[in-house]
A and B are shown apart, each in its own frame.
Chain A
Amino acid sequence: MKRLSRFRRHKAAAPLLLIIALLGIGGTFSVASATTANETNAVERSTLIEEGRQIFLKGCSSCHGLNAEGVSIAPSLIGVGAASVDFQVGTGRMPMADMSTQAMRKAPVYTEEEVAALAAYVASLAPGPEIPGMELLNFERDGSTAEGGELFRNNCAMCHNFAGQGGALTQGKYAPTVMGVLPKHIYEAMVTGPQAMPVFNDKTITPEEKLSIIKWIKSAEAEPNLGGASLGRVGPVTEGLLAWTLGLGLLIGVAVWLATKAK
C-alpha cells in the first residue's frame, strides 16, 4: 500500500481513479443488466449501427441532416427510437414520396435488414421506444377481442372509423386504414404516434390493452362480410349511392319497360 500511496498526489491519479470508477460501474451495470450481451454481439451491433449510418447518409440525411439533427423541412430523429424508424421505413412511409400533406403508406423502399440497420443507427443516437419483440407481440395469447373493440371505439374510431377503414383529418391529412398492417407496426404506431396521431404510451393504454386492440383489428380484418358486399365499410354514404343507382335505377328501368310494352 505504501508504494501505491506514494502516487496519491500524482497529477494523473484523479483522472485515473475516475476512469477506474466509471469502468467499474459501467462494467457492473452491463454485467448485471445485459447478461446475454457478449463481446461478439457488441461488435455485430456496432457494425449494424455503422451500416445503418451509411444508409442514413445516403437516403435520409438530405432532409433529416447529416447527424439526424433535423432541418427546417424534416424533424430531428434523435430520441425517436428504433420503433419509430421501423414503423416509418418498414411501412414505406419513409422516404416520403412527396411532402405535400403526409407520408403515405407504400411498398417499402428498404429491405428488412436495411430497416433494422437504420433503426439500430437511430436508436444509437439517443434512447427511445424500442421495436417490440415477437415475444411481446403474442396478441393471440395475451389479447382479448371484445376488450380490444371497446378500446378501439374509445381511442381510435374517431379518426380511423368504426371498422378501421380510416377517415379524413383537417387540411388533406387523413387517418389511414388499419387493415392489412403488421401487428408490430400497429404497436409501434401507438407507441410513437406517427404524423398526426397522438402517442398512446403504456400508461394511457397498457401493453396488454395494445395487444387487445391488435387482436380486434386482426379479427375485423379476417371477418367475412356477413351481410353481403361490404360497400367499403364506410357507413351510409355508399349505401345511399347504391340505393339510388342500383335500387331505384333498376326499378325505373322496369317501369320504362312496363310502360313501353303497352304500346
Chain B
Amino acid sequence: MTVEAKLGQVANYVDERTGAAAFLKKSLKKVFPDHWSFLLGEVALYSFVILLLSGTFLTFWFDPSMREVVYEGDYQPLEGVKMSAAYASALHISFEVRGGLLMRQIHHWAALIFMAAIVAHLLRVFFTGAFRKPREGNWIIGIGLLTLGIVEGFLGYSLPDDLLSGTGIRIAEAIIQAIPVVGSYLSYFAFGGVFPGELFIPRIYIVHVLLLPGAFLALITVHLMLVWYQKHTQYPGPGRTEKNVVGYPLMPMYMAKAGGFFFIVFGVTAFLGAVASINPIWLYGPYNPGQISAGSQPDWYMGWLDGLVRMAPPIETYFFGYTISWNILIPGLIIPGILFTGMALYPFIESWITGDKREHHLLDRPRNAPNRTALGAMSLTFMLVTLINGGNDLIATHFDLSINQIMWGTRIGVLVLPPLAFIITKRLCLSLQRADRELVLHGRETGRLLRMPSGEFVEVHEPISPEKAFILTSHEQLPALDLPAVDARGVKRAGALKNKLRARLSKANAEAVPKVSADDLKQIENH
C-alpha cells in the first residue's frame, strides 16, 4: 500500500466516525485577506500560547505561600534572609531549576509583548474602523481581553513577592481603600485582614493560573469564532467589495504562514529571555511593607495609571468621619472607568453620530475618517503623557530634569495636548485627502522639468495607475445627518437638545475634502 492510500484509510476512519471531512473541506478553503497589520492579533494569540506553556513550567516549582522561610539557596547575597516561601521558590526557579531563569524571563517578556500586541491590534482595528457593524460585539470582547490582560499581568507581577511586587500590591490596596464607604471593608475582605496578611499570594495565584486564563481561553475562542463567522475585514481595492473577501485560502497558505509565525514569535520571546534581564527579583530582595525602592514602577501597560496617580493633586475631603481620597479615587478608578467604558461603547457612539447602521467589511483608510483618527490620536496622546509621568523619576535622573517640572509639564500637558492632537490630526487627515485628490486629478509629480517653446518651465505629471486611483476614490463620503429642530408640519421634535448635539457631532464628523468624481475627471481630460 502506498503512503497516500494509508493516509486515506486513516482519514476515512476518522470521517466515518466524526463527519469531519465536510467541515474541513469548507474550512480549509476559507479565504483570508493578506496584510501585515492583520497579524498583530496573531502576535497576541501566539504570545498567549507561550504564556500558557512557560507559565505551566513555572507552576511545577512555584510555591504560592506566604509562610516565612529562611533562605538557604544558591544566591549568596540573600543567604539567611527571612522571606516568604513564594519568593524563595521564585529564587529557586531562577537559580537552581535548570532553564528556570530562562523560562521566567520568557514568561515575563511574552507577557509584555502580549499586552503590546493587544494594544497594537486594538489600534489597527480602531483606526481602520473594523469595529463597525457587525463587529461591535467582538470589539467589546477585545476590550474585555485588554482589561483582563492588564489585571492578569499585574497579578503575575505581584506573585514573586519581591520588593517591587509588594509595592504594586500596596498601591492596589490603596486604590481599593479609596472606594468611598466600602473601601476599607473591601480591602479587609481581599487581604483577609490588615495588609499584607498571609492570604493574598495564594489568592492571586489561583486567579492568575486558573480563573483568568480560563476566562481568556473562553473569550479568545469566541473572539476567533466571530472572526471566522463574520469573516475578516479587508482593505479597499479593485475587486474588493462589502460582499466578498479577496485573499488566500487557509490551507496551505495561512497554515504555513501562521505556523511559521508562531515559531518566530516564540523565537523572539526566547531571544529576549536569553539576552535581556527582566524583573531581576533577587536584586529587589523580599517584600517588606517597611521598605520601598526609588523608581518603583509597574509594567508598561499600567504605567499610564501610575502616571495619573503621580500627577494627581493631593485633594481629600472628610464626610461624617469618612475620608474620600480624590487624589486616588479620580486617577485610580474614575478616569480609567470612563476611558474603558467609552472605549467599549465607541462603535455605538460612532454609528449614532453617523447614522450609519449598515454592515461594513471594507476597512477605512484612517485619513478618510478624520474625526475618528483624530479621536484616536487624542487618546494616544493622553496615554503617552500619563505614561511619561509614570516614569517621571527615571526621566528626571537620566535627562537631568526636575521631577517637579515633569509633573507640572504632564499635568498641564494631559489637559492641553490631547485636544491639540485632535485638531492637528484632523487637519492632517484633511490635508492628506486633499493630496489624494490632487494625485488623482493631476497625477504623480515626476520631478522632470520641461521647457516649453515659449520658454516656460513645467513639471511633467504622470497619471497614477487605475488601481491606485480606485483606492483613492472608492471610499464613500457620508453627508452629515439632517436633524431639523421641527418636523415637516412645523411641530417641535422630541429630544431637541439630543438632536442638536447629534447634528453638531455629525456635521463635524462629515467634514471632508470632496473626493474626485467622474465629472471632475472628465473636466480635467477636456482641459
A25 at the interface (CB under 8 A from B): no
Most buried by B among A166, A168, A219, A252: A168
Q: Is the interface of B mostly helix, strand, loop or mixed?
A: helix
Given A158-B294, A168-B394, A229-B276, are A248 and B283 neighbors across the interface (CB < 8 Å)? no
Known: A247-B116, A258-B257. A229 touches B275 (CB 8 A): yes
Q: Is the CB of B275 within 8 A of A228?
A: yes
A169 close to B113 (CB less than 8 A): no
Supplied contacts A168-B403, A251-B268, A258-B257, 7 more A-B pairs, CB within 8 Å: A158-B294, A167-B295, A235-B394, A237-B391, A247-B116, A248-B113, A255-B37
State in angstroms the CA–CA spacing of A13 and B163 once bound together: 72
How does the 8 Å CB contact mask read for B275-300 relative to A, with 1 for contact and 0 for none? 11111101111001011111111111
The answer, yes or no, to whether B101 is at the interface (CB within 8 Å) is: yes
Assess whether B293 is in contact with A162, with CB atoms less than 8 Å apart: yes
- A34 CA to B34 CA, complexed, in Å: 88
Contacts of B269 in A (CB 8 A): 247
A170 touches B403 (CB 8 A): yes
Q: Does B151 contact A (CB under 8 A)?
A: no
Contacts of B282 in A (CB 8 A): 226
- Answer whether residue B455 sits at the interface, using C-beta atoms and an 8 A cutoff: no
- Most chain A C-beta atoms within 10 Å of own C-beta, residue among B77, B264, B265, B284: B77
Which size bracket describes the interface of B in this complex? 35 or more
A242 to B105, CA, bound (A): 13
Q: Is the CB of B79 within 8 A of A237?
A: no
User: Of B35, B38, B283, which one neighbours A233 at CB under 8 angstroms?
Assistant: B283
B293 contacts A158, CB within 8 Å?
yes
What residues of chain B lie closer than 8 Å to A248, measured between beta carbons? Answer: 43, 113, 116-117, 120
The total of chain A residues at the interface (CB under 8 A) is 59
Closest CB of chain A to B197's CB: distance in Å? Answer: 21
Question: Cβ of A57 < 8 Å from any Cβ of B?
Answer: no
Q: Which residues of B contact A (CB under 8 A)?
A: 34-40, 42-43, 76-81, 94-95, 101, 105, 108-109, 112-113, 116-117, 120, 163-164, 248, 253, 257, 260-261, 264-265, 268-269, 272-280, 282-285, 288, 290-301, 303, 390-394, 396-397, 400-405
Cα-based distance from A240 to B401 in the complex (angstroms): 21
Establish whether residues A150 and B391, one from each chain, have CB atoms under 8 Å apart when the complex forms: no
23 CB contacts below 8 A, A to B, read A145-B77, A146-B76, A150-B81, A153-B288, A167-B293, A168-B397, A172-B403, A172-B405, A226-B282, A227-B280, A228-B105, A236-B297, A236-B298, A239-B276, A239-B278, A243-B113, A248-B113, A251-B43, A254-B264, A255-B36, A258-B261, A259-B35, A262-B253
Contact with B along A66-82 (1 / 0, CB 8 A): 00000000000000000
Please tell me which one of the listed residues B37, B248, B276, B295 contacts residue A234 in the complex, with CB atoms under 8 A apart. B295
- Min CB–CB distance A30 → chain B (angstroms): 46
Q: Using known A-B contacts A166-B397, A228-B276, determine if residue A159 contacts B300 with beta carbons closer than 8 Å.
A: no
Asked if A172 contacts B401 (CB within 8 A), the reply is yes
CB contacts under 8 Å to B, within A156-190, are 157-163, 165-172, 174-175
Which one, A165, A175, A225, A258, contacts B36 given CB within 8 A?
A: A258
List of A residues within 8 angstroms of B403 by Cβ: 168-172
Given contacts A168-B392, A259-B39, contact A235 B261 (CB under 8 A): no
- Tell me, rounded to whole Å, the shortest Cβ–Cβ distance linking A110 to chain B: 25
